[in-house]
Amino acid sequence: MTRKLDPQNQTKETVIKRAPLPVTHVSEAAPSRADIEQLRQDLLSHYDAHGRTLPWRIRPEDRARGVQADPYSVWLSEIMLQQTTVAHATPYWKRFLSEFPTVIDLANAERDRVLTLWAGLGYYARARNLHKCAETVRDLHDGVFPTTEAALLKLPGIGLYTAAAIAAICFNEPTNIVDGNVERVIARFFAVDAPLPKARKILRDLAGSLADPVRPGDYGQAIMDLGAKTCTPRKPLCVECPWQWKCKAYSLSTIQACAVTDYPKKLKKTSRPIRSGAVFVLTCGDGDATSVWLAQRPDDGLLGGMMGFVGTQWRDMKADDPSQDLQYAPYPKNWELLDGEIRHVFTHFDLRLRVYRAQISDSDRGHNINSGHEGSGAGDFASRDFDIAALEAGKFIRLSDIENYALPTVMKKALQHALQRAEL
């Protein structure tokens, strides 16, 4: 039996024949062939009996009849589920599929519309790549998803995990599906002492040694389910685990040498720095006609391509200087610094955001905002030069229409803050 389970590791013939397990990292030798067969069977039986019904999965009875999943909806789910919980992603998946029933529909959509539907899901590069990927499938693949792991891997936003998952689930290719769940299950099963993230390669190889080539998609989903529902990060339910009989961490835990949750070992994360800055919420009109000034952020970097309020840079607390805030205002006006701060957590920093607010009349709007070139006076804030580029990129958006714009959560918080404080 020749099969490739790892696109990064294709030089050798089979998965079973891996490099010898490094004794320093693993507490026990690899399971026997017979054990591996038993483990596969245990997991798949467990999956057939208890597998979750998720909307992008085909139903068990259809699966039994050999029906294959739809690559478009599986791909959509896999991208959305990257670093995201099922509960959070599911409503988005339904909305996307409803508005874009096929990959062609998605490719033909405006990117801004895609970003709007994605708003709130986070990691917005996923949405930009999602659209790019759909365009690629439309333009380079006749509107049909490629069917191999290697070809899928070339598409934007599809990495090692997603390519393996789609190829296995939709096309029955015997790939090695490794996500965070699998890493945890495998680290416990083999009691791998090497800490994450350095242990990735070891865990990947160990995972590949167990992966089932006959039902690769079911196996992959089964082991991910096992990690999500049974072999959970905090309180694993070893009592119901089909792999308990061979699990090294469980075995060690029964002789009180360790707890199952000691695995996977991981390096301590450095604490998140705190950054701060300010945003300016400029409103125009009132009541139902209230509009706010929003600009599209540059395509690259944080919240790339999303809409947001104009503001200062977000800098390390120590480098942030509130006395300079008004130089970044989108419009010369008597800005009110609102009480309180927005707090928002990003992956790599905590943000504290001051919110300024000002209101302009419709006459101001017509006269100044759209021309935006005055500012020759000296010293007077009301006549300074302001950021014309930011102005030209922005526009007034009706609050009643704001759901049609790609506003990330941090900006929604700022808007809420400004509107609430304004009422006081």
Partner DNA sequence: GATACGTGGCT
Partner DNA sequence: TAGCCAAGTAT
Of 198 and 373, CB closest to DNA: 198
CA 417 from centroid of its chain's CA atoms? 26
Find out whether 170 and 74 touch, Cβ atoms under 8 Å.
Answer: yes
Find out whether 267 and 196 touch, Cβ atoms under 8 Å.
Answer: yes
> 3-class DSSP state for residue 325?
helix
Point out which residues pair with 274 in neighbouring strands. 350
Query: Of 22-30, 58-66, 103-111, 123-131, which part binds DNA (CB under 7 A)?
Result: 123-131
Q: What is the DSSP string of 228-244?
A: IIIS-SSS--GGG-TTG
176: contact with DNA by CB under 7 A = no
Of 32 and 85, CB closest to DNA: 85
Footprint (CB under 7 A) of DNA, residues 82-101: 82-88
**Amino acid at the residue 171:** F
Size of the site for DNA (CB under 7 A): 61
408: contact with DNA by CB under 7 A = yes
Query: Of 65-73, 97-105, 115-123, 186-194, which part binds DNA (CB under 7 A)?
Result: 115-123
**The only residue of 90, 129, 148, 172 in contact with DNA, by rule CB under 7 A:** 129
Find out whether 208 and 255 touch, Cβ atoms under 8 Å.
Answer: no
Residue 119 in tokens: 């708003």
Query: Of 97-105, 339-347, 386-394, 415-423, which part binds DNA (CB under 7 A)?
Result: 339-347
197: contact with DNA by CB under 7 A = yes
236: contact with DNA by CB under 7 A = no
- What's the rounded Cα separation, in Å, for the pair 316 and 302? 15
Query: Of 218-226, 251-259, 352-360, 374-382, which part binds DNA (CB under 7 A)?
Result: 218-226
Find out whether 191 and 27 touch, Cβ atoms under 8 Å.
Answer: yes
Residue 55 in tokens: 């909307």
Rounded to the nearest whole angstrom, what is the least distance from the CB of residue 1 to DNA in the complex?
Answer: 26
Helices (H), 82-159: 86-99, 103-108, 111-118, 125-140, 149-152
**The only residue of 31, 48, 123, 151 in contact with DNA, by rule CB under 7 A:** 123
Point out which residues pair with 296 in neighbouring strands. 307
Residue 355 in tokens: 């919110």
Residue 65 in tokens: 């009849």
Query: Of 32-40, 219-227, 240-248, 376-384, which part binds DNA (CB under 7 A)?
Result: 219-227
266: contact with DNA by CB under 7 A = yes
Residue 300 in tokens: 């690259």
Of 143 and 180, CB closest to DNA: 180
233: contact with DNA by CB under 7 A = yes
Q: Which of 78, 149, 173, 183 is catalytic?
A: 78
- Residues in contact with 41: Cβ distance below 8 Å, sequence separation at least 6, in sequence order: none
Residue 78 is among the residues annotated as catalytic for this protein: yes
**The only residue of 10, 29, 45, 54 in contact with DNA, by rule CB under 7 A:** 54
163: contact with DNA by CB under 7 A = yes
- Residues in contact with 142: Cβ distance below 8 Å, sequence separation at least 6, in sequence order: none
Residue numbers at the binding site for DNA (CB under 7 A): 52, 54, 57, 77-78, 81-88, 119-125, 129, 156-163, 165, 179-181, 184, 197-198, 201, 221, 224-225, 227-228, 233-234, 266, 268-269, 271-272, 301-304, 344-348, 408-410
Active centre residues (catalytic): 78
